[in-house]
Every structure is written in C-alpha cells, then in structure tokens.
C-alpha cells in the first residue's frame, strides 16, 4: 500500500514538473533584508513581505529576548485552556486601539484567522459572495462554512466588478445572512478593493462585509491600519482581518470587530479553540511592533517612496505592472515556463524575484511578483532595475 502512495506521489510531482508548476523553496542564509544571502548567493531581495523592515527591528528583537527570559519559550496551552498570558491580552487591546474597533482577537496566523472566522460566522442558510481573486485562506474558510458560496452557483463576482456584485446581491434576498468578502489589497495583483462601493452595496442589500487586509496591514491607512482607515469607513466594515506576519514582521493574524464578534470567536473559532497560543517572544515582539507603527511614521514613508521609485522605473523600462497600486508589483509574463526562466535569469543577475504560477494565479497568467520595502536602499533598487532591464530585453518582454 505504501508503495502505491509513493508511486502516486512520484507521478503527481512529475506532472507538476512537466507543467512548470513545481516549486523548490530557496534557502535564506541571512536575516531578512534588502540584500540577503540566498542559496549561497548575495542578491537583492524583491520577494519579501517584510514591508517595513520590522523582521529585524532592534526594539522588537529586544522585546522578544526579554519575554523569553521572563515567560519562557512556549505558552504551554491553547488560549482558553490556560495559554492566555497577560501579554496576549495586552497585544489585543493595543491592536483594538490601532484599528479603532471595539475588540480584536489574535489567531496563530492570518490563514488560521480566515479559516476559523468565516465558518464560525456563516452557516447553513447564509450566502458568501466573493471576489474571484480572493486569497486561498479565504477560499478555505468559505469551503469550511455551511453557507452557499460556489462559483458554479453564481456567488463569485468578477474581480472588482460592482455591477456583477450588485446583480448577485439582488438575487440573494432569501438567505438569512449575506456576507461580501474581499481582499483589501489583492495579494498577487497589488490593486486595492473598491471598499466604499462594496460597503454602499452591502448597506443597500443588507449584507455584512469582511475585508482581508493582510497586504494592507502596515501599508495603507492611518499608521498602516488598513483599507477601512484608508477609505474613512470606520464603523461600516463588520469584520476586518489583519496579518501580523507581513509588515508586522513576526507571525499571526487577527480579527478586528465588535466585542460580540470576539466573544463568539473565542467560543466558536476552531483554530483558537484547538491550537496552542503564540509563544511569549512572538507576542512581546508584536506589542513592540504596534508601538512602532503608532509612533514612527518613517518606515511607512520609506516604503512608499521606494514603491513609487520602483514602479515608475519599471514602467519607464516598458514592463506591464498590471495596474498595481501598492508595493506589490507584478510584472506580467503569461506563460509559466517563461516566468520560471525569468526568475532563474534574474537570480543569476543578482536579484531574487519570485515567479508566481498556477494555482496561486490562474493558468496562463504567470508573473514575476516584486515588493519594494522600507529597507531597500536606492542602490539595491537601481541594481535590481538594471537586472530587470537586461533580462527583460533578453526575453523579449520589453
Ligand atoms: C498572506 C495572506 C494571508 C495569510 O496570512 P498569514 O499570517 O501569513 O497566515 C491571508 N490573506 C491574504 C490576502 C494574504 O496575502
């Protein structure tokens, strides 16, 4: 029987390789930063979500070290079974102030927050209406819920198409609850959801709104508090998800909303109920991260300066950056094989920029995804641009 599994795995993997969809994770041999040692080579890193450079922030490292000394290395239990330390509580209070919501509940990751929250809130007799480009963790959360959600049944709207969303809402009046769910910033395209229009439609058709701000956290809005703040929609978005793993530089996810929502998720959010609490070093570093975001505007300012410089120069070179509006800057390639080839050539030229292929993006829409950050120097970006120009010409993209 075991041999059958091994044979099956080999066949599947060979097929992925044949389709140029096979992944080999590169190995980082230095701390995350603008320039890193990767697979034995020093390269400019254009593929990290460490938007603000907080992965290596001295205050956060110090907070983590002190927390290890005081609290140890593990929480020892699931949150409600005795794994909640006073620092977990402190982090959630700080995040609620940061988000200007009644309450925040922290999960082990953004993925866990989505897959735990959506099924806890949406049940049989409800409907979930999704943007077609929503993140995989939203899709998994939606699938775990008892609600109607299927694309084949017409509950998935074309990317950012508000006429399509309204047409779907019009025929969903008979469901008990309707939820519209969207990425705030789309993770593979870097464009921003039309949240004011979504909220207006939700109010018109009595739907609730959930926004996944994984790539807006630390990037958009007041102090980087996300798309609800960016668009001035305080109090009009029912459920906001943020990640603590990207711009916040550590690991975790959270749900911001009402006190009742938090109470419900403490009782019904399965990753919260059945998986162990964050270790103290993580929590202490995150408390420091929120303080840094609330008091130091410099990292966000540098992030956006670098973003403008990077996008402008790629466009000047003639690359198609797919209408992205945030630090996430895809470069359109199309064919999977070409994207993988481009990633390899860029690496040889001293730049790490990941080729993104199916299933992360649709087949035939492969791209190289780049993310400038606050820690890139002008020289890092200029060196990377030079490599893109050279390889882009070589491959006939520009
Ligand atoms: C990365 C990401 C997540 C998952 O966040 P983690 O904290 O890394 O688990 C969720 N949603 C979106 C849109 C993301 O890009």
- Give tens-digit pLDDT for 261-312: 999 999 999 999 999 999 999 999 999 999 999 999 999 999 999 999 999 9
110 CB near ligand 1 (under 6 Å): yes
212 CB near ligand 1 (under 6 Å): yes
| Per-residue pLDDT at 2 | 66
Residues counted in the chain: 398
Q: Which ligand 1 atom is the nearest neighbour of the CA of 187?
A: 15
Cα 183 from Cα 164, distance rounded (Å): 17
Instruction: Give yes or no: 47 in active site.
Output: no
Asked if 76 and 278 count as a contact pair (C-beta separation under 8 A), the reply is no
Whole-angstrom CA distances from 316 to 185, 310, 330, 389 are: 24, 10, 15, 10
245 CB near ligand 1 (under 6 Å): yes
Cα 142 from Cα 156, distance rounded (Å): 11
- Both tokens of residue 259? 């006190």
Q: Which ligand 1 atom is the nearest neighbour of the CA of 112?
A: 9
Cα 321 from Cα 331, distance rounded (Å): 5
- Residue where the block lists tokens 């993580």: 282
Strand order across the beta sheet in which 329-334 lies: 329-334, 366-370, 354-356
pTM of the model: 0.96
Ligand 1 centroid – CA 110 distance (Å): 5
- Give the three-state DSSP class for 103: strand
Cα 369 from Cα 137, distance rounded (Å): 19
Stretches where the chain sits below pLDDT 70 are: 1-2
Instruction: Give yes or no: 115 in active site.
Output: no
Q: Which ligand 1 atom is the nearest neighbour of the CA of 243?
A: 7
| Per-residue pLDDT at 359 | 87
243 CB near ligand 1 (under 6 Å): yes
Asked if 202 and 180 count as a contact pair (C-beta separation under 8 A), the reply is yes
Q: How do residues 326-364 score in pLDDT, each as one tens digit? A: 999 999 999 999 999 999 999 999 999 999 999 889 999
Whole-angstrom CA distances from 260 to 207, 232, 257, 268, 336 are: 18, 23, 8, 12, 46
| Per-residue pLDDT at 266 | 98
Asked if 111 and 102 count as a contact pair (C-beta separation under 8 A), the reply is no
Cα 230 from Cα 349, distance rounded (Å): 37
Specify which residues 212 forms β-bridges with: 183, 241
SS (H, E, C) 179-220: EEEEECECCCCCCECCHHHHHHHHHHCCCEEEEECCCCCCCC
Q: How do residues 314-327 score in pLDDT, each as one tens digit? A: 999 999 999 999 99
- Both tokens of residue 225? 């508090």
Which listed residue (130, 145, 187, 324) is catalytic? 187
214 CB near ligand 1 (under 6 Å): yes
Inter-helix orientation angle 259-268/110-121, to 10°: 100
Tell me which residue of 308, 312, 318 sits closest to 391, measured CA to CA.
318
Cα 2 from Cα 137, distance rounded (Å): 31
Cα 372 from Cα 6, distance rounded (Å): 41
């Amino acid at each position: 029987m075991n041999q059958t599994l091994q044979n099956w795995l080999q066949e599947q993997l060979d097929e992925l390789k044949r389709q140029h969809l096979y992944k080999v994770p590169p190995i980082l041999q230095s701390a995350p930063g603008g320039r890193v040692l990767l697979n034995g080579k020093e390269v400019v890193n254009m593929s990290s979500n460490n938007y603000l450079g907080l992965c290596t922030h001295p205050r956060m490292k110090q907070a983590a070290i002190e927390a290890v000394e005081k609290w140890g290395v593990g929480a020892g239990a699931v949150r409600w079974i005795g794994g909640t330390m006073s620092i977990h509580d402190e982090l959630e209070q700080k995040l609620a102030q940061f988000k200007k919501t009644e309450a925040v509940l922290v999960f082990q990751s953004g993925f866990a927050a989505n897959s735990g929250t959506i099924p806890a809130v949406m049940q049989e007799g409800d409907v979930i209406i999704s943007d077609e480009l929503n993140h995989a963790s939203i899709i998994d959360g939606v699938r775990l819920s008892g609600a109607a959600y299927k694309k084949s049944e017409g509950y998935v709207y074309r990317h950012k198409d508000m006429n399509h969303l309204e047409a779907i809402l019009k025929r969903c009046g008979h469901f008990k609850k309707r939820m519209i769910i969207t990425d705030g910033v789309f993770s593979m395209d870097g464009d921003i959801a039309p949240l004011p229009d979504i909220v207006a439609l939700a109010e018109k058709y009595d739907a609730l709104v959930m926004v996944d701000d994984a790539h807006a956290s630390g990037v958009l809005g007041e102090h980087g508090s996300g798309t609800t703040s960016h668009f001035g929609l305080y109090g009009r978005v029912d459920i906001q998800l943020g990640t603590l793993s990207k711009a916040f530089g550590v690991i975790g996810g959270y749900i911001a909303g009402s006190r009742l929502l938090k109470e419900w998720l403490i009782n019904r959010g399965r990753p919260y109920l059945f998986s162990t609490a964050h270790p103290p070093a993580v929590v202490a570093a995150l408390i420091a991260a929120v303080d840094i975001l609330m008091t130091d505007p410099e990292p966000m300012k540098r992030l956006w300066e670098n973003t403008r410089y990077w996008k402008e120069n790629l466009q000047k070179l003639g690359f198609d950056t797919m209408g992205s509006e945030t630090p996430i800057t895809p470069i359109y390639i199309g064919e999977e094989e070409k994207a993988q080839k481009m990633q390899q050539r860029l690496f040889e030229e001293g730049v790490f920029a990941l080729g993104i292929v199916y299933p992360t993006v649709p087949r035939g829409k492969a791209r190289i995804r780049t993310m400038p950050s606050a820690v890139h120097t002008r020289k890092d970006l200029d060196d990377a641009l030079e490599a893109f120009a050279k390889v882009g010409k070589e491959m006939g993209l520009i």
